[in-house]
């Protein structure tokens, strides 16, 4: 059953890729829900996370015991990478976006400029070449190869880390004070402020979380592929497709949209196997076409609008 085997292999890869897209989509959607603009710098924020992790891991080295062939030092480096990304985003928000007195379109265009600045600085610091983390390349897990699934322990680590982060975010949003404030602010900033919520703090926390998740996504993307200055920008439209499919501004929609779009992009090769003449090189194109269709037919996406729109 060649088709089944190919299906399983692609699906396994798709789950790993989707995890990364889910992390970044949540971040983009969160920032949209609070700041009200489509942040084109989100892709390059991922790149910042990846390179920050690279530097941190280079400094820390492979200390500690290994989990899934990843030394503890790597996880520590990812945490530092996330922190650096969040700081970079906060500084950008403070000195660039906040003082701007223009509408959401102006912010959108400004964020393109920010994206270029991030990428240019990364290219200055690290050249345009490719990097990999100082980890030994792994063979696919033997126990799964017999089913045609070729994933490494690193891939499993990506998926598990994503699940941890997503569950953590869910608990944060639903069961903590900050989460309630975030949902309230996203829903109606004026009302939130009138109820005594310091919306500016909430806004900064949202940027921190959103950029941090993008940083994590970038770090894992670097583990999944490799690090190049364009890595984040290349995924930006895929992430937009995911966010729009899920419903822009909705966190749970972004999770679902990220999963679906990630799977669709990675599963495209199955089309030519079952006889539809669309090659695997059009995976991203299919995602973009779906994005446009969603915008036309159901612009609010699968899950409606605000962070608090559902589940809460």
Partner 1 sequence: MTKAEQAVAGIVAAVAIALLLAMLGGVLSPTYFLFLFGLGGMYALMSLGLNAQWGFTGLINFSVAAFFGLGAYGAAIMTASNSPLAGGFNPIFGLALALALAAVVAVAIGIPTLRLRADYLAIATLGLAEVIRMVILNEGDYTAGSQGLRGIPSFFEGWPILSAFPETMPGLEIEIIPGQAVVLGTSFWRQLLNVSLMLAFLGTAFFVLRRAHRAPWGRVLRTIRSDEDLAKALGKNTYWYKMQAFVLGSLIMALAGVFYAHLNLFVNPGDLDPITTFYVWVAVMLGGAGSNRGALLGGFVVVAIREGPRFVGDVPVFALDPGPLRLLLIGLLIVLVMRFRPQGVLPPQRELIWPTAIDDDNRTTPKMGVREAKTDGEMQGSTDVSTEQSGGGDSDE
Binding site for partner 1 (CB under 8 A): 37-38, 96, 99-106, 108-110, 112-117, 119-121, 123-124, 127-128, 237, 240-241, 244, 279, 281-282, 284-285, 288-289, 291-292, 295-296, 299
Coil vs helix vs strand at 142: helix
For partner 1, the closer CB: 123 or 225: 123
At closest approach, how far in Å is the CB of 169 from partner 1?
A: 24
At closest approach, how far in Å is the CB of 105 from partner 1?
A: 5
For partner 1, the closer CB: 100 or 160: 100
Task: Return the structure tokens found at 188.
Answer: 């109606």
Enclosing H/E stretch for 77: helix 72-92
At closest approach, how far in Å is the CB of 300 from partner 1?
A: 11
At closest approach, how far in Å is the CB of 128 from partner 1?
A: 7
For partner 1, the closer CB: 68 or 117: 117
- 42 within 8 A of 239, measured Cβ to Cβ: yes
Phi then psi for 124, rounded to 5 degrees? -65, -45
For partner 1, the closer CB: 27 or 71: 27
At closest approach, how far in Å is the CB of 158 from partner 1?
A: 25
At closest approach, how far in Å is the CB of 277 from partner 1?
A: 12
Task: Return the structure tokens found at 219.
Answer: 């770090």
Q: How far apart are CA 259 and CA 136, in angstroms?
A: 28
Q: How far apart are CA 98 and CA 37, in angstroms?
A: 12
Enclosing H/E stretch for 66: strand 66-67
- 33 within 8 A of 189, measured Cβ to Cβ: no
For partner 1, the closer CB: 157 or 303: 303
For partner 1, the closer CB: 83 or 295: 295
Q: How far apart are CA 182 and CA 204, in angstroms?
A: 10
């Amino acid at each position: 059953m060649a088709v089944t085997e190919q299906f399983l292999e692609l699906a396994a890869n798709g789950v790993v890729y989707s995890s990364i897209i889910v992390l970044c989509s949540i971040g983009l959607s969160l920032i949209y829900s609070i700041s009200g603009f489509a942040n084109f710098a989100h892709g390059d924020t991922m790149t910042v996370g990846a390179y920050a992790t690279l530097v941190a891991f280079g400094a820390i080295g492979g200390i500690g015991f290994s989990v899934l062939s990843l030394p503890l030092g790597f996880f520590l480096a990812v945490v530092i990478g996330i922190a650096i990304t969040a700081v970079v985003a906060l500084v950008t928000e403070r000195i660039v976006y906040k003082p701007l007195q223009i509408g959401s379109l102006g912010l959108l265009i400004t964020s393109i400029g920010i994206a270029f600045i991030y990428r240019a600085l990364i290219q200055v610091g690290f050249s345009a070449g490719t990097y990999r983390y100082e980890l030994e390349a792994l063979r696919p897990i033997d126990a799964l190869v017999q089913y045609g699934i070729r994933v490494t322990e690193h891939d499993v680590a990506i998926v598990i880390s994503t699940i941890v982060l997503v569950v953590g975010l869910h608990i944060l949003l639903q069961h903590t004070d900050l989460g309630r404030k975030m949902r309230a602010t996203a829903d109606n900033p004026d009302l939130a402020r009138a109820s005594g919520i310091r919306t500016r703090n909430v806004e900064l926390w949202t940027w921190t979380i959103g950029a941090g998740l993008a940083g994590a996504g970038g770090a894992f993307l670097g583990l999944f592929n490799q690090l190049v200055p364009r890595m984040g920008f290349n995924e930006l439209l895929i992430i937009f497709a995911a966010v729009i499919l899920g419903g822009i501004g909705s966190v749970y929609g972004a999770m679902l949209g990220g999963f679906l779009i990630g799977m669709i992009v990675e599963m495209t090769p199955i089309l030519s196997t079952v006889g539809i003449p669309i090659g695997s090189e059009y995976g991203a194109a299919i995602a973009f076409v779906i994005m446009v269709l969603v915008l036309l037919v159901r612009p609010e996406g699968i899950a409606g609008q605000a962070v608090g729109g559902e589940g809460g």
